[in-house]
Each structure stands twice: as C-alpha cells, then as structure tokens.
Structure 1
Amino acid sequence: MAESELAALRERARGGDVDASDELVQLAAELGDLKELRRLADTGSSDAVEQLVQLAAERGELAELRRLSDGGSATAAEQLAELAAE
C-alpha cells in the first residue's frame, strides 16, 4: 500500500470510518507494526488491543503486555501470567 493510500485510510479512520479503522488494524497486524497498533489502541480500538496483545505475547514483549494490562486489558494480564508460568 502506498504511503498516500495509507494516509487517506488513516484520515478516514480519524473521521469515524469503522471499516477504515478495521483495515488499518488488519494491515498493522499483518505487518507486525506494533507502533501503528499502539496508535490505534490508544484511540480506543479494542481490535487493535487484541492484535497488540497477540503480537506482544508472540514476541515475548513483557513490557508491552504490562502496559496493556495496566491499561485494563484482561487478555494482556492472562498472557503475562501464562508467560510467567513457563
């Protein structure tokens, strides 16, 4: 996806276009783009939080899981507990 297309998609998402937001989450997850997923999660996207938890757990990013857990993600807390038990 060209940068101009990505910028347009972000603009649509900022304007409340749920489909654009979903597409951004999916794209960021496919690319493993934690920064983009964080940005989307910080805007309230629960799908972005879920994808971020999954990627952070796969990568062993404990600090990210703690941040998400501290922010109220029960799934992140569960992942932290599972990783601690290993």
Structure 2
Amino acid sequence: MPATSPPDPGLPTDVPLPTDPDAVALAVEAAIEAEDLALLRRLADAGSSDAEDALVELAAERGDLDELRRLAALGNRDAADELLELEEEEE
C-alpha cells in the first residue's frame, strides 16, 4: 500500500497569507522546513510556484500518490511526471 501523508492539522483560514514576495518566500521556506503541507497548499493555491514545487517534491519523497494525483489533476506537469515514475516503480 502506498505511503500517504498523515492528515494535516491545517491552519486557520482566517490567518492571512503574506503578499510581499520576500515574505511569501520566507513562508515557503518555513513550511518546507516544518513539512507543513497545509501551509504549502495554501501558499500554492494563492499562486506561489515555489510552494507548489515543494509540495511535489515532498509528496514524491514520501510516495504520497494521493497528493501527486491532486496536484496533477490541477495541471502540475511535474506532479504528473513524478506520479508516473512512482507508479512504474510499483509494477
């Protein structure tokens, strides 16, 4: 059975995300370091390509096929490629 991420505790949605590019970059770095998938998702949904790239990388490292499928369904080509590779490894 493929590994999946534990459920994210999530962040309160009423906490605003930073809009300043430097602040966004710092938030992405902090989320990567903490492996905070919920924050990375929020940042990616707000348009941060760095957060989206980090989500793909973390999901691939964890073998999280569900997250890769979610990202691929949203049009992320890197997630689709990682998903293909992981699925081929399972065969």
Q: TM-score, normalization: structure 2?
A: 0.77
Partner deviation per Cα, 1:4-60 (whole Å, 9 max, x = no partner): xxxxxx7571xx200000000011011111111011011111000000000011111
**Residue-pair matches, total:** 75
Q: Which residue number in structure 2 is paired with residue 23 of structure 1?
A: 26
Of Structure 1 and Structure 2, the greater helix share is in 1
User: What amino acid does structure 2 have at the position aligned with 1:76?
Assistant: A
Q: Does residue 68 of the first structure (1) align with residue 68 of the second (2)?
A: no
What runs of 5+ residues in structure 1 fail to find an aligned partner?
A: 1-9
Matches within 5 A, 1:3-82: 11=16, 13=18, 16-82=19-85
User: What amino acid does structure 1 have at the position aligned with 2:69?
Assistant: R
Higher normalized contact order (CA 8 Å, seq sep 6+, divided by chain length)? 2
Structure 1 runs of 4+ aligned residues shifted over 2 Å read none
Q: TM-score, normalization: structure 1?
A: 0.82
RMSD: 1.4
Distance (whole Å) between structure 1 residues aligned to residue 21 and residue 28 of structure 2:
11
Report percent identity of matched pairs. 53
